[in-house]
Amino acid sequence: MSETKPSVETAQPQPSPAYRWLVLIIISLAMFSNYYVYDSIAPIADLLKSDLGFSDENIGQLYSVYSIAAVIVLLIGGVIIDKFGTARSTLLFAAICTVAALVNAATSDLSLMLAARFLLGIGSEPLIVAITTALAKWFKGRELSFAFGINLTIARLGSVSADWSPTWAEFAYTGWRGPLVVAAAIGLLCVIAAAAYAVLERIAAQRYGLGKAGAVDKLVLSDLFVFSRSFWLVVALCVTFYSAIFPFRSFAIKFFMESWELSRQAAGQFNSVLPFAAMFATPLFGLLVDKVGKRALFMAAGSFLLMPVYLMMAYHVAPLWVPIVMMGVAFSLIPAVMWPSVAYIVEERRLGTAYAVMTLIQQIGVAGMNWAIGRTNDVFAASSANPMGYAPGMWIFSVLGFLALAFAIWLRREETGPNAHGLETITAGSKSD
């Protein structure tokens, strides 16, 4: 790579704020589309079962193969992004996601659907990395965190839109294919937005001085042997937490319809509470924790909220909105604390490996749990005729919540002892050294 002299770089004009925020909106639309396509299966889970004869295990597999693909891509690392740059990489991965959405809508064959979802995982996860890397070139200092927040908010709107699709796209829900055609149409936005971003970056490269792209998270195996116990406890909390959240969302709409007798529209709206709440509450929790510290304690509190919600829903011990709100708080709180906490525990030069390890283990857990819950639902004949067939799967989720709480308490004990890294004490404005 050629080096640019500092005097030349500083002499170059910078993109205007309007240009940079236009770039942010355009590139975030690709994430919106990507999230929508991923979450387009949950609203039609019952239709896949009634129209195509899929089992709950098959539906779980549609999510599991995505995570398996994500693990494979993570092991490959950021080689493509490093070699071809953010613009071309974003366009490549977005095109893969769009093709996956089109194939998924075009076939009723389970094997081809699984292949399409696998392809989606191959494109989706590195697309997120490429977009995150690209944003680092356009935003600096305090703007960068805010830009990431806006990007994630727009992306999560994709999940919310998918959950609400039975309401705003009710015309499509005459069978299983219509909603996937809508998802494929929205999937086209992914490659269109990526192409628009590539044009904007090319223009900017000719006119402006852009910052350097952020480093791509990569897995360095030798780093695994120097991580502290606190790091591995955060990883354990990560995998148990996300394995309880995302596989539940995979089956939640079907569960709400068959166990709580909700309409498809109402079930989708309840399922949207988690991403919708996280859009606004996650940054607020982040600000709170930065001011007061006590990160392990907050993670324990979030895990405590998560632990009973599944049994509350399985046995109808409270109105549905009560456990959903509790889950929404946990889903907003734990990620807001967990991911930034790694930066306090792991030295900066190993952060790429640390985040890669967390994501890899998380995806393995989510893949296994999606399959396991689907299989459990089939074994216990979960359906509208037998709503209690969902209870064993909900017990599994509850055990994961209990394990998450145990790991969070263990982490707090570690971080209040002689091997502490400052998770409980460091606040905004305090010195971490």
* pLDDT tops 90 at residue 42: yes
* CA 269 to mean position of chain CA atoms: 19
**pLDDT at position 276, please?**
92
Give the separation between CA 70 and CA 324, rounded to whole angstroms.
Answer: 28
pTM for the full model?
Answer: 0.88
Are the beta carbons of 92 and 146 closer than 8 angstroms?
Answer: no
- Find, among 376, 243, 262, 277, the residue nearest to 320 by Cα: 262
| Confidence grade of residue 77 (pLDDT, cut at 50, 70, 90) | low
* Cα torsion 163, 169, 172, 175: sign: positive
Conformational region of residue 140, where left means phi above 0, alpha means psi within -120 to 50, and beta covers everything else: beta
pLDDT at 14: 73
93 neighbors 27 (Cβ within 8 angstroms): no
Nearest to 350 by CA among 256, 181, 222: 222
Decide if pLDDT at 221 tops 70.
no
Whether the predicted pLDDT of 426 surpasses 70: yes
Mean per-residue pLDDT for 411-425? 88
Query: Higher confidence at residue 354 or residue 29?
Result: 29
Give the whole-angstrom CA distance, residue 66 versus residue 61.
8
Share of residues in the chain with pLDDT > 70 (%): 90
Distance, CA of 116 to CA of 99 (rounded, Å): 8
**Which domains are present in the chain?**
15-216 (1.20.1250.20), 217-433 (1.20.1250.20)
pLDDT in the model for residue 211? 57
CA torsion 158-159-163-165 (nearest 10°) is: 20
CA dihedral 221, 227, 233, 235 (to 10 degrees): -30
Model confidence over 331-353: pLDDT tens digits? 999 988 898 888 888 887 777 77
Specify the DSSP class assigned to residue 294: -
Contacts of 226 by beta carbon, 8 Å cutoff, 6+ apart: 350
Query: In sequence order, which ranges of 77-221 are alpha helices (DSSP H)?
Result: 79-106, 110-138, 142-168, 177-207
What are residue 147's phi and psi, to 5 degrees?
-65, -40
Note the pLDDT tens digit of each residue in 362-394. Answer: 999 999 999 999 999 999 999 999 999 999 999
Highest-pLDDT range among 155-159, 212-216, 359-363: 155-159
CA-closest candidate to residue 59, choices 51, 332, 230, 403: 51
What percentage of residues in the chain have a pLDDT greater than 90?
Answer: 63
Distance, CA of 117 to CA of 137 (rounded, Å): 30
Cα distance between residue 333 and residue 286, in whole Å:
8
Per-residue confidence (pLDDT) for residue 292, from 0 to 100: 86
Q: pLDDT value at position 244?
A: 96
